[in-house]
Amino acid sequence: MPLERARRSLVAGLIAWMIPLEVLAKDASNVPFNTGVFSGVSTPAIATQNFAWLVTGICAAIFVVVVVVGAITIIRFRKRPGDDDREPPQIYGSNPLELAWTVIPLIIVFLLAIVTARTIAELQIDEMPEGWMPVTVVGHQWWWEFQYPEYGITTANELHIPLGEAGAGRPTFLTLESEDVIHSFWIPLLSGKIDVIPNRNNHLWFDPLETGLFVGQCSEYCGTQHANMLLRVYVHTPEEFKRWAANQQRDAVENLAVDRGRKIFLTTACINCHTVKGTVATGQFGPDLTHLMSRHTLGAGVAPLTAANLRDWVADPAHLKPGARMPAMGVQGRALDQLIAYLMTLK
């Protein structure tokens, strides 16, 4: 039954085509997140999505017209019993027809060009407008560094931003750079994606309309752990954000019970790559750990940040994330427990 088979492939094709509209992604917390490009909750994402709907609508209309005209032609002018084999009369040169198929596509292309230019002009901002919040994003293999120059905060993998106050938005203005290879920063519900390129600063902004957790990921292949270069964005109310920022500005807390672990941390190679503010650890190669435990995942989203996972990670990062640049530190047993106890105090 070729007709039945054709019908089935058509349905399967249509379903496959529709799936990317609503993509559900899962990260370490195992909660499904909507990362569909048609579910935007931020000014630039909504502008992009309206543009996509317009283009899809125009293309769908063209598709329908072509299919309908084609179907009518095939059915109405099919060969009937009794028709002879002579060619029908041929028509050459029709001014109205030629005018129509030149002018109509021109109008469509012109319309799309205007809307494209307007959308790009609206979204592409290279100088930060006054009152926006600047954040510098640094892509690393395979994690994200976030710097808040206004607050003197450096954190990793989980970006916290405020919602605007009483009608007035406080958009976040990102400057993106890379420490090694090309990455791409993408939070589908907040904005389009942008490449993160070594020796070059790119810019992106978003202006969320609701609080909540939004996920994304690196979307440019950047090596073994590209797939685990995940992103989380927490949008807070302005008060919540102020609280978060104030906590991030504190130095690491003192705690006698974890003194031993601290000593281990500060006397091993940990400090060559990690910073803990207020200590001798000022390394830049790995994530800033000053407020490690204020994050919910570790290894750029590869696992929930629990004591057990942290222990597993420090014992041998490659166990959770093969190819991760952090080596196994050779700290074991009791010493490892003390080290983890210390890290757990970095709230």
Q: How far is the CB of 136 from ligand CUA (least distance, A)?
A: 16
Classified as helix, coil or strand, 165 is strand
C-alpha 239/C-alpha 164 separation (Å) is 11
Residues 179-198 that bind ligand CUA (CB under 6 A): 183
How far is C-alpha 59 from the chain's CA centre? Answer: 27
Q: Which run of H or of E encompasses 176?
A: strand 172-178
Closest-CA residue to 263 (of 247, 250, 276):
276
Amino acid identity at 209: L
C-alpha 138/C-alpha 325 separation (Å) is 16
Residues 76-115 that bind ligand CUA (CB under 6 A): none
Q: Is 226 in the site for ligand CUA (CB under 6 A)?
A: yes
- Cβ proximity to ligand CUA: between 133 and 218 the closer is 218
Q: Is 221 in the site for ligand CUA (CB under 6 A)?
A: yes
- Cβ proximity to ligand CUA: between 222 and 305 the closer is 222
- Cβ proximity to ligand CUA: between 179 and 337 the closer is 179
Residues 273-302 that bind ligand CUA (CB under 6 A): none
Q: Is 222 in the site for ligand CUA (CB under 6 A)?
A: yes
Classified as helix, coil or strand, 205 is strand
Q: How far is the CB of 143 from ligand CUA (least distance, A)?
A: 9
- Cβ proximity to ligand CUA: between 195 and 312 the closer is 195
Among 229, 270, 281, 340, binds ligand CUA (CB under 6 A): 229
Q: Is 324 in the site for ligand CUA (CB under 6 A)?
A: no
C-alpha 89/C-alpha 328 separation (Å) is 82
Among the residue ranges 214-222, 271-279, 311-319, 325-333, the one whose residues contact ligand CUA (CB under 6 A): 214-222
Q: Is 163 in the site for ligand CUA (CB under 6 A)?
A: no
C-alpha 15/C-alpha 13 separation (Å) is 5
Q: Is 142 in the site for ligand CUA (CB under 6 A)?
A: yes
Q: Token pair of 294, please?
A: 């204020």
- CB-based contact 221:183 (threshold 8 Å): no
- Cβ proximity to ligand CUA: between 49 and 178 the closer is 178
- Alpha helices (runs of H) in the chain, residue ranges in sequence order: 2-18, 43-76, 95-123, 238-249, 259-267, 270-273, 307-315, 317-320, 333-343
Q: Is 38 in the site for ligand CUA (CB under 6 A)?
A: no
- CB-based contact 301:230 (threshold 8 Å): yes
The number of residues that bind ligand CUA (CB under 6 A) is: 9
Q: Token pair of 245, please?
A: 């920022």
CA dihedral 224, 227, 229, 235 (to 10 degrees): 180
Among the residue ranges 60-68, 222-230, 281-289, 306-314, the one whose residues contact ligand CUA (CB under 6 A): 222-230
Q: Is 220 in the site for ligand CUA (CB under 6 A)?
A: yes
Residues in touch with ligand CUA (CB under 6 A): 139, 142, 183, 218, 220-222, 226, 229
